[in-house]
A and B are shown apart, each in its own frame.
Chain A
Amino acid sequence: MSESTVQIALVLPDLLGTYGDFGNAVVLDKRMKWRGISSEIVTVNFGEPVPETCDIYVVGGGEDTAQTLAVRHLREHPGLQRAVTRGATVLGVCAGIQIFGESFTRADEITHPGLGLIDSTSHAGGSRAIGEVLAKPAHGLFDGVLTGFENHQGRTVLGPAARPLAHVTVGTGNDGKNEGAVQGKIVCTYLHGPVLPRNPALADMLIEWATGRKVEPLELPAVTQMRAERLKAAGQRAEV
């Protein structure tokens, strides 16, 4: 892959871009460019076919209606699913974790089939989980604490083929214990912020998966400082 440009597909930002999810694509793109890796963002809008040849797919969060439409669109244009079969790297945020699973059940108790890319089911929880989250990455996937902001009603149960991304120390995540999911090269999370600006180590893990090469650390003082501030703020939430 090193001979060509790494393509980041920003999937349906006009439906699933409610929470600044564009930021995740920007962070991947810049962190590659600043290290001399050629990369570009390919935006796939609602109504357009989904390419199957991109290296990384970024799917964001959205409202209920938008989520249903997105699933339908991704079924009609199964480029993402084909790319997964090929071994592409995928990041799914919030709605992403729900639509990539086997099924998701709304507050109205109607169950919608998901794309079946992740061994998980999601359902509406009693209350909306809103606020800062801290979680410890599972299986030593990446360094540091996972930080983000959650705003969702869904609760997610993982099956045996999926592993949690992290274990929650502050906030709710999937179920108050686990946060997100990892299966093959698919990573899902409930966290906004957006998640990759907050967690450069996670961004670099995705870049390494997609390019197959190790990347050098990138020192960005503002990012380090923001992480320190957010960790402190979430810690205060824990004490309340």
Chain B
Amino acid sequence: MSSKLSQKMGLGAGGMIGGRVALKLDPQALRRLASGKHVALVTGTNGKTTSTMMLARAVGALGEVATNHSGANMPDGHVTALSKQPDAPYAVLEVDEGYFPAVAVAAQPSVAVLLNLSRDQLDRVGEVRTIERSLRDVISGLQNCTVIANCDDVMVTSAAKDARRVVWVATGTGWHQDSASCPRCGEPIRWQGEHWTCTHCDLARPKPDWVTSNGHLIAPNASKVELKLRLPGVFNQANAVMATAAATKLGVPIEEAVRRLRGVSNVAGRYRSIIRSGRAARLLLSKNPAGWSETLTVVKEAEHPAVLVINANEADGRDLSWLWDVPFERLRGRRVVASGERATDLAVRLTYAEVEHTIVPDPMKAIDSLPIGPVEVIANYTAFRDLNARAADE
């Protein structure tokens, strides 16, 4: 009933309230529910929901998997997910990076996946280095955990380096703007091609065990497997290789893991197309500069018009300064509509990026304002959530 209530109150997809009540009644609920299971935790700034879904699909090869599909990635969401499938031998949980230390201590994972760390909602989540430090502290103390870590991300490498066992994955993706200085000693980080090294201490890019390469993965045994994903973009290839490395650690054969996870095509409404009066609008979610930067790469593949939807509610972060970290200049020459509750802030950014645009605050009307044909819609968190809900209603 409380799940229904949560949906009624518009608090999300109903994945939270049940867990919140359970945690109130029993603060040890997460520890108790996770004990005896093989638990995999997935965290990082971007790609958590997609990677979690991919990993859960792959681990499904071994048996029943409890997972928090709806992106309810805080402890109450974990309790809800585990309570729903108390007999599942496996759990694959997406974890908000701020809650990772508490969840890891309670759930004692056998695998932890660290995707990437970059600036995100500075007024709410806090600064990247603080997050890195808290992950590093808890990871070094986990007893029976293998960490799957992206060695192309300086912050992730530092967070994972002191773990008992680490599997390094070269993802080929990385946002360098938050790692000019070493998270360990503060000296400059020097990049040479894909390799990076601190100019002072011994932090450097580890030799990868897995490599993401042009739509393929190269496994530790040197076998090369084509990914053939249904999801677009280089960053989803990175998510897939991270998920495969984690699934393999839990005992899934490589080929089978890839076969299963490539079926993921719609992640909580992302990447799906909605048809609206003759316009096929593909919905893309981006929440922060690194995410937007990757998504702009995806939409670059076709020259379709784009609707960009920006809100600045509590869950989005109220400070929109980050709009200036996104390379919107890449949209020059394309038809763009600025939309969302903060459409005007976006319009200012587009003006200075010399991207021609119109302003239509209602995203549905923004789609309707474009010629019939394919449309790319990129929205940040609450804008995306609202758009999906409205698309479902219509």
Query: How many angstroms from the CA of A3 to the CA of B140 in the assembled complex?
Result: 59
Docked complex Cα distance between A14 and B353 (Å): 20
B324 x A20 contact (CB < 8 A): yes
**Contact assessment for B352 and A20 in the assembled complex, using a CB-CB cutoff below 8 Å:** no
B344 in the interface (beta carbon within 8 A): yes
Q: By the criterion CB–CB under 8 Å, are A23 and B352 in contact?
A: yes
B contact residues, total (Cβ < 8 Å): 34
**CB-based contact A23/B324 at 8 Å:** yes
Q: Which of B76-84, B155-163, B180-188, B370-378 contacts A (4 or more CB under 8 A)?
A: B180-188
A19/B319 in contact, CB under 8 A = yes
B321 near A194 with CB under 8 A, answer yes
Which residue in A15, A47, A69, A192 is a CB contact (below 8 Å) of B321? Answer: A192
B326: shortest Cβ distance to chain A, in Å?
9
Cβ of B155 to closest chain A Cβ, rounded Å: 12
In the complex, are the beta carbons of A229 and B119 less than 8 A apart?
no
In the bound complex, how far is the Cα of B351 from the Cα of A141, in angstroms? Answer: 26
B window 19-47: CB within 8 A of A: none
Establish whether residues B349 and A197, one from each chain, have CB atoms under 8 Å apart when the complex forms.
yes
Q: Which A residues touch B349, using CB under 8 A? A: 23, 197
- Which residues from B are CB-within-8-Å of A69? 181, 186
Contact B129 A63, beta carbon cutoff 8 Å: yes
Closest to B322 in A: A20
- A205 close to B (CB within 8 Å): no
Our count of residue pairs bridging A and B at CB distance below 8 angstroms stands at 94
With an 8 A cutoff between CB atoms, is A58 at the interface?
A: no
**Given known A-B contacts A23-B324, A26-B324, A151-B122, A226 and B127 have beta carbons under 8 A apart:** no
CB of A193 within 8 A of chain B? yes
| CB nearest neighbor in B for A60 | B321
Q: Give Cα distance in the complex from A13 to B177, angstroms.
A: 8
| B351–A220 touching, CB < 8 Å | yes
- Interface assignment of B323: CB less than 8 Å from any CB of chain A: yes
Q: Is B195 an interface residue (CB 8 A)?
A: no
From residue B223, how far is it (CB to closest CB) to chain A in Å?
A: 38
Asked if A18 and B122 sit within 8 Å, CB to CB, the answer is yes
A22 at interface, CB cutoff 8 A: yes
Contacts of B122 in A (CB 8 A): 18-19, 151
Pick from B190, B199, B325: contact of A22, CB below 8 A. B325
Among A14, A220, A225, the residue within 8 A (CB) of B180 is A14
CB distance from B205 to the nearest CB of A (A): 18
* Chain A neighbourhood of B107, CB < 8 A: none
Shortest C-beta distance, A131 to chain B (Å), equals 7
Contact with B along A223-238 (1 / 0, CB 8 A): 1011001000000000
* A26→B328 CA distance, assembly (Å): 12
B318 within 8 A of A: yes
Given the interface pairs A192-B321, A194-B321, A222-B348, the reply to whether A65 lies near B359 with Cβ below 8 Å is no
Is A177 interfacial (CB-CB < 8 Å)?
no
- Contact mask for chain B residues 166-186; partner A; CB cutoff 8 A; 1 contact, 0 none: 000000000011001100001
A5 contact set on B, CB distance < 8 A:
none
A68 at interface (Cβ–Cβ under 8 A)? yes
B345 within 8 A of A: yes
**Interface presence of B123 (CB below 8 A):** yes
Cβ of B211 under 8 Å from chain A: no
A65 in contact with B321 given A18-B119, A26-B352 (CB within 8 Å): no
Q: Are A226 and B177 in contact (CB under 8 A)?
A: no
Q: How far is the CB of B97 from chain A (nearest CB, A)?
A: 16
Q: How far is the CA of A149 from the CA of B318 in the complex (A)?
A: 9
A27 proximal to B (CB < 8 A): yes
A130 close to B (CB within 8 Å): yes
CB-CB under 8 A from B199, the residues of chain A are 47
Residues of A near B352 (CB, < 8 A) are 23, 26-27, 30, 197
Residue A111 interfacial (CB < 8 Å): no
Q: A20-B325, A192-B319 are in contact. List 16 more A-B contacts (CB 8 A).
A: A14-B176, A14-B181, A20-B321, A21-B321, A22-B325, A23-B321, A63-B127, A63-B128, A65-B129, A66-B129, A130-B318, A193-B319, A222-B350, A222-B351, A226-B348, A229-B345
Can you report 5 residue pairs joining A to B where beta carbons are below 8 Å apart? A13-B177, A18-B127, A20-B325, A26-B353, A222-B347
Q: Which 5 A-B pairs have the closest CB atoms?
A: A23-B324, A14-B180, A20-B324, A20-B321, A222-B347
Binding site for B on A (CB under 8 A): 13-15, 17-23, 26-27, 30, 45-47, 63, 65-66, 68-69, 130-131, 149, 151, 192-194, 197, 220, 222-223, 225-226, 229
Q: Which residue numbers of B lie inside 8 Å of A, CB to CB? A: 119, 122-123, 127-130, 176-177, 180-181, 186, 188, 190, 199, 318-325, 344-345, 347-354, 359
